[in-house]
């Protein structure tokens, strides 16, 4: 209860911030996008990590309000990038509850119109837990999102309730291979998993982002598979906006 109240107060007191982690083209290393990741800097500089408060916000419903703040803040930032001619896509995490909430798609459209951003630069990252919900509702929502031109990215692929049938049934544009797979890339079994996922995605014309990439060797390996994109400490951890912009400008 204390944390629930604190989370609400924190929104009023402007204590949340979005950090951005680069997503890079495997072949060229160019930064082609960013994933927005929320940070909570409490009073006295106490830092509360999202994997603590996001699950609580999902339980108590606050994720709807917080998710709206994330969505709007990230779209505002994309507007600034587009104003500066930065060629960047913006990946935004959305909770299952949030995306399936009535009015989500019209609110998304409202934000795209208000901030005049290209819909095709926006990706919504959802985890496989969304598929625990009614598939008709998912279909309706995903189709409406796609009709706006916004893309859908399946986060943490392979760790949740994944069933390959979801990739066939729902309009998924991007698949993010979870870090756990990348950690094992240099074992025979680990490599088989990564290669199978990448090949399947290529067949289905779904693009792939490898997550948690920490070494050059992993990047080279991904390049040999023609895996499209990576994200990880090898380029940068999630950083505040000024540091991200600096990183992007250094690279070009
Ligand atoms: O950087 P890292 O510690 O940022 O993120 C931990 C986890 O918190 C991520 O795996 C992600 O699932 C979740 N997360 C981070 N930011 C957001 C956000 O803005 N919205 C939602 N729903 N989840 C987020
Ligand atoms: O949304 P998602 O669950 O995928 O969030 C990814 C998490 O992984 C975030 O907490 C982010 O800070 C973290 N992360 C991103 N890149 C790396 C990496 O290269 N190594 C490790 N250990 N963690 C990473
Ligand atoms: Na994510
Ligand atoms: Mn992920």
Q: How far apart are CA 189 and CA 109, in angstroms?
A: 43
What is the average pLDDT value for the chain, to the nearest integer?
95
Each residue's pLDDT tens digit, 164-208:
888 888 999 999 999 999 999 999 999 999 999 999 999 999 999
Q: How far apart are CA 76 and CA 186, in angstroms?
A: 40
Which pLDDT value is given to residue 13?
Answer: 95
As for how many domains the chain has, the answer is 1
Which pLDDT value is given to residue 251?
Answer: 73
Which pLDDT value is given to residue 181?
Answer: 95
Mean predicted confidence (pLDDT) in 122-132: 94
Q: Which atom of ligand 1 is nearest to the CA of 127?
A: 12
Q: Which atom of ligand 1 is nearest to the CA of 18?
A: 19
Which pLDDT value is given to residue 165?
Answer: 83
50 CA to centre of ligand 1 in angstroms:
6
CATH number for 124: 3.20.20.450
For ligand 4, a single-atom ion, the residues with CB < 5 A are 155-156
Mean predicted confidence (pLDDT) in 235-250: 97
Is the predicted pLDDT of residue 252 greater than 70, yes or no?
no
Is the predicted pLDDT of residue 92 greater than 70, yes or no?
yes
Which pLDDT value is given to residue 185?
Answer: 95
* Ligand 1 contacts CB of residue 51 (under 6 A): yes
- Closest Cα to atom 23, ligand 1: which residue? 93
129 CA to centre of ligand 1 in angstroms:
14
Is the predicted pLDDT of residue 160 greater than 80, yes or no?
no
179 CA to centre of ligand 2 in angstroms:
7
* ipTM (interface pTM): 0.97
Residue 104: band (very low, low, confident or very high) from pLDDT cuts 50, 70, 90: very high
Which pLDDT value is given to residue 199?
Answer: 96
Residue 2: band (very low, low, confident or very high) from pLDDT cuts 50, 70, 90: confident
What percentage of the chain carries pLDDT values higher than 70? 99
What percentage of the chain carries pLDDT values higher than 90? 90
Each residue's pLDDT tens digit, 16-49:
999 999 999 999 999 999 999 999 998 888 899 9
Domain that holds residue 236: 2-251
Q: Which atom of ligand 1 is nearest to the CA of 57?
A: 22
Q: Are 176 and 156 in contact (CB under 8 A)?
A: yes
For ligand 3, a single-atom ion, the residues with CB < 5 A are 93, 125, 155
């Amino acid at each position: 209860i204390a944390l629930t109240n604190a989370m609400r107060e924190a929104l009023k007191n402007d204590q949340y911030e979005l950090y951005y982690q680069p997503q890079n083209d495997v072949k060229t290393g160019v930064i082609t996008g960013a994933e927005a990741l929320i940070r909570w800097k409490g009073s006295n500089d106490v830092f509360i990590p999202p994997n603590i408060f996001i699950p609580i916000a999902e339980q108590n419903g606050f994720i709807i309000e917080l998710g709206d703040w994330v969505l709007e803040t990230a779209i505002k930032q994309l507007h600034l990038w587009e104003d500066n001619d930065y060629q960047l896509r913006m990946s935004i995490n959305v909770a299952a509850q949030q995306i399936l909430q009535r009015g989500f798609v019209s609110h998304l459209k409202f934000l795209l119109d208000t901030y005049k951003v290209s819909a095709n630069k926006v990706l919504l990252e959802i985890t496989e837990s969304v598929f625990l919900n009614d598939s008709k509702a998912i279909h309706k929502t995903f189709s409406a999102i796609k009709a706006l031109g916004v893309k859908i990215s399946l986060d943490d692929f392979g760790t949740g309730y994944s069933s390959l049938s979801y990739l066939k049934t729902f309009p998924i544009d991007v698949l993010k291979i979870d870090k756990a797979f990348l950690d094992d890339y240099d074992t025979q079994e680990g490599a088989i998993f990564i290669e199978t996922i990448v090949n399947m995605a290529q067949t289905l014309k779904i693009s792939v982002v490898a997550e948690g990439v920490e070494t050059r060797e992993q990047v080279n390996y991904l390049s040999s598979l023609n895996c499209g994109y990576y994200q990880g400490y090898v380029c940068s951890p999630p950083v505040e906006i000024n540091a991200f912009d600096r990183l992007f400008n250094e690279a070009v």
